[in-house]
Structure 1
Amino acid sequence: MTLRGVRATADGMDVNQRQTSSPQGNLQVLALRHETGPSATPHTLGIRPPRRPSLDATPSVARVHNYLLGGKDNFLADREFAHRLLELAPSAPAVLRADRDYMRRVVRHLAGTCGIAQFIDIGTGLPDEKNVQQVAHEVNADARVVYVDNDPMVLTHARAILGGDHRVAVVEGDLRTPDGFLQHEATRRLIDFSEPVAVLAIGVLHFLHSDDDPHGIVAHIRDMMAPGSYLAISHLVARPETIRGAQLAHRSLARGFVREKEEIRAFLDGFVLEPPGLASVSRWRPGTAEADERDVWLYAGLGALRPRETTPMSH
């Protein structure tokens, strides 16, 4: 989702500062290199760096992700940015794949174990081989899905590939103004807010600047949800790679923010965290014993909205 931010920050601080806090102590924010080269790319990816500079395009988050995941829906500017990112964070493609795998696991859990039949996916990104609707429909053929994004290319592709199904809608919306998509006619047609709903904010909250009041935005969405609903999130946590990547995003994309674990956990205030709590996306209920459970720098959590407590009436 092509979102929103005006300054890259780390741990609540502008990353243009030379020092920043992290769980490991003070980290030196390194100067960024702007050249690209084969050394930036793991050979297993089969990605070749671009040969000439781009003068006619601005990279987008969705297209950069698409390229790093091996897709073809991207431009030269996106590939140039991706190779600069790979110089700073060579594990970025593996982290993105782990995030997609987490999305599929959590949707399967929600549609199956939790019995959720309606989903709102905020920050859809470019469609790939298995999206929310495919995963949910494997468990519940009647599940309804609303995809939300504000990138024109994402919306075009999503409507072409994911549309045409009466159980699915693709809505233009911006997380900074949630009422725009929560009150949208297509959302209201598919989603009954008096019944439990799963809201997916996976890999999107780290594009909200602190000035946007991100925790307030999530609380506003929470207040629209019925008891028995769920919120699934993933978010970049403060690590050396993410801090440097945020600085690069600031220069090239004007977005990208990292937060400490407690700040990420606060997005789930008002929810009851499902086991295993807030964890690396690769460690959130891995699907098989052979799953790669390395601690990657995206943290995930699933919160359940319990019935609100009421004060007993006195007799």
Structure 2
Amino acid sequence: MVLAPVHIDGLVDIHCHGAVGHEFGRSGAGSRAAVRHHQTSGTATVVASLVSARPDELEQQVDRLLPLVRDSTIAGLHLEGPFLSSAQRGAHDPAVLADPDPDLLERLVERAAQGGAPHAIRHLTLAPELPGAERLIRRCVQLGVRPALGHTDAAADLMTRHLQLIADLQGAPALVTHLFNGMRPFHHRAGGPAAAGLRAAAAGEAVVELIADGVHLAAEVVRMVFETVGPDAVALVSDATAATGLGDGRHRLGTLEVVVEDGVARLRATGALAGSTRTLAHGVRWAVSVAGVAVADALRAAQVTGARALGLD
């Protein structure tokens, strides 16, 4: 597929797991190599996303990434789990999922502070229907961590209530992790978290992430979201994994084996989509060329909106 020759620079990727065989947090040198790969395509700012893992593993991964935060190689960390819905876990290991635990978040934030990067943890994805979700949301805001709702099987009313809570507590729009992906499917008689996220975004109460890689979302869905809520409520993200830049073959995401065929990454065991193999620059070009998003809107969603959602601007 030939994509539009959009001039790309200054992109901000707030949801990215790695590249060229390196998953963020596995090693310092590997994490730096992954960042360099994304930078060569036009991504100026990367927030390193960590998949669900056991508490001790998360602590080790945070420790390995703190030097990259201190020298501004990355703009911070995103904890995607482990407080996620088992029913909507996607490519997260069910064995490590857990109910919301403010104590774990406090330990990670404290480790970051002791490691010289007190604001390293930028956002945390959780499912609002889990026991203790509201308590964790409140603790996130107190600690300066942006709560993001995702990997959720919640009904629309519960999602709406928690999005409004987040927006009220932090005085800024809530964040929805990769809208439509990792959540109960939208249905015209039960809109679920997707409908709630769109409504909140249209009202200025939320920013919704979109993975515009040509796999996670149909072109008409991406265009519909842009035309419904506008680029100031859309953050284009890559959700790129360690398989990015390597081509087809077998890879890993966290503890799980991934098979990439024709550029599409899926868990070997279940067939679930396992992140993306594309950079954010590819997503911008695809959104313009295939989904029909205006160049200015796609660039704003990839350069500005995500940064504002995390307070990076």
TM-score bracket, shorter-length normalisation = 0.3 to 0.5
TM-score normalised according to structure 1 size = 0.32
The structure number with the bigger radius of gyration is 1
TM-score normalised according to structure 2 size = 0.32
